[in-house]
Amino acid sequence: MSDRPDPGAVLDRLTAELGAASVRPGADASPDLFVDETLKAKPVAPAVVVTPSSTAEVAAVVRLAAELGVPVTARGAGTGLSGACIPEPDGILVSFERMAALLELDEANQVAVVQPGLTLAELDAATAAVGLVYPVFPGTLAASLGGNVATNAGGMRAVKYGVTRNQVLGLEAVLGTGEVVHTGGRFVKSTSGYDLTQLIVGSEGTLALVTEATLRLHPRLAHTASILTPFASVDEVAEVVPRIVASGVQPMILEYIDRATMTGLLRMNELTLGVPDDVMAATEAHLIVVLEGRDAGRLEVDVADVATQLAEAGAHDVYVLPSGQGADLLAARESAFWMVKAAGADDVIDMVVPRSRIPEYLRGAQLLARTHGSKVFGCGHAGDGNIHFSVYEPDTARRSRLLSAIFAMGHDMGGAVSGEHGLGRTKKGYYGRLVEPASLALQRRIKAAFDPAGILNPGCIFPDD
């Protein structure tokens, strides 16, 4: 794609196709559109920004881009953490802000049909009104459903409900040729050809642009209870997590927070949880368990059961929080990213390892950080083996060496580079060094089948040659 047409010519062709109201030069748009929440990421202005209002318009944009050989990057809400929606300097940015409708809430089939620009907050409000829930809750409900699908977003409730790919039943999507495909449907099972839905989920805008998604909903359970448990060591936390998961109580949330992160979160959110200072000082890791149920009595039994498991596992104490305090603690946990950003963290990584290897992974990462003269702090989705480290190492080369070492260690434990944020532009190099060559080659062939001109979000997922 070296002989790209003049950006003015691309603008003119797109304007002729979509009309001036949906097309503007990148230079006229806000730089906020050109970056996501990735720490230290810089905005990149594309040649053109388009805001299509229909699938037909998206298809027209992609057809033209394929003809001209111009890169196309989709943008949802820009809350991503891997630079995946940052456009190419001479490319087209497709912003889905005008395709943001909830098309249908089908209560009989427990399904929502949405356009990609709809936010999680909007879907949550609509499903709450009918007693249902879309159970993917990443740390920000400002994220769009299109972005969720493209990143296979996870979040705190994945330990019970699974991640985005477990909720996506069908898609309408525009391939890199401009063709429109429909995958799946309002059913939970199908053995009818390759599962194209699942190929597109998590593909970070590199295979197709999602223009509609059919999503699975669940009953919204009325009662929740939050338990906070300080432990002297991460080994104790790691031991009790699989036991709770195996006990059948189906926790909705199982989050790990290290002492430094918890201290910062409590301070930043002006929260007191009644944990005495001497217990805090003797704590290496906190575990938050949230249970939900449709019946208050049944929930109480489950809370007592989990509390016993936690006490038997050696917890300093078990705090069953009043509901307001539980909600405040979860809100504080969700603010972890903003805290580490304000504290000047240089990167956030979200490697996933088998649950049983968490202590080894945590200790290994601390050791590697020390040997590199850097600092890492952690919290994350312990129930999924998905720990988020904030990395404090301003020297780019040293940080890259540290991250390479952490990823290689986690990979040797049977882990994967990203559990939920995606590879995007920031983690693709690390992935490229660890992935099996045959797997990477197959993925390149799949990419070529969906996107023969190679225009969809180039620069993401695949390592530079």
Ligand X SMILES: Cc1cc2nc3c(=O)[nH]c(=O)nc-3n(C[C@H](O)[C@H](O)[C@H](O)COP(=O)(O)OP(=O)(O)OC[C@H]3O[C@@H](n4cnc5c(N)ncnc54)[C@H](O)[C@@H]3O)c2cc1C
Residues found near ligand X in the complex (CB under 6 A): 36-37, 73-81, 84-85, 96, 116, 138-140, 143-144, 146-148, 150-151, 153-155, 204-205, 209-210, 337, 420-421, 457
Strands 111-114 and 132-133: unpaired
CB of 301 to ligand X, least distance (A): 29
* Cβ neighbours of 430 (radius 10 Å): 22
Please say which residue, 9 or 331, places its beta carbon nearer to ligand X.
331
Please say which residue, 309 or 426, places its beta carbon nearer to ligand X.
426
Contact 414, 357 (CB under 8 A): yes
CB of 372 to ligand X, least distance (A): 26
Q: What does residue 100 show for φ and ψ, rounded to 5 degrees?
A: -130, 35
CB of 27 to ligand X, least distance (A): 21
Q: How far apart are CA 302 and CA 293, in angstroms?
A: 9
- Helix intervals (H) in 2-54: 7-18
Q: What secondary structure letter does DSSP report for 21?
A: G
CB of 373 to ligand X, least distance (A): 28
CB of 37 to ligand X, least distance (A): 4
Q: Which contacts qualify for 258-263: CB closer than 8 Å, 24 or more apart? A: 258/234, 258/284, 258/285, 258/286, 258/362, 258/377, 258/378, 258/379, 259/283, 259/284, 259/285, 259/286, 260/377, 261/336, 261/339, 261/377, 261/378, 261/379, 261/390, 262/286, 262/379
CB of 229 to ligand X, least distance (A): 21
Contact 352, 386 (CB under 8 A): yes
Please say which residue, 155 or 326, places its beta carbon nearer to ligand X.
155
CB of 282 to ligand X, least distance (A): 29
CA 390, 393, 395, 397 torsion-angle sign: negative
Please say which residue, 136 or 291, places its beta carbon nearer to ligand X.
136
Please say which residue, 200 or 307, places its beta carbon nearer to ligand X.
200
Residue 3: HSE in the Cβ half-sphere, 13 Å Cα cutoff = 1
Please say which residue, 96 or 231, places its beta carbon nearer to ligand X.
96
Residue whose C-beta lies closest to ligand X: 147
CB of 76 to ligand X, least distance (A): 2
Q: How far apart are CA 399 and CA 405, in angstroms?
A: 10
- Helix intervals (H) in 76-219: 120-128, 145-151, 158-161, 196-200
Please say which residue, 314 or 463, places its beta carbon nearer to ligand X.
463
User: What's the token pair of residue 212?
Assistant: 């509609």
Please say which residue, 151 or 283, places its beta carbon nearer to ligand X.
151
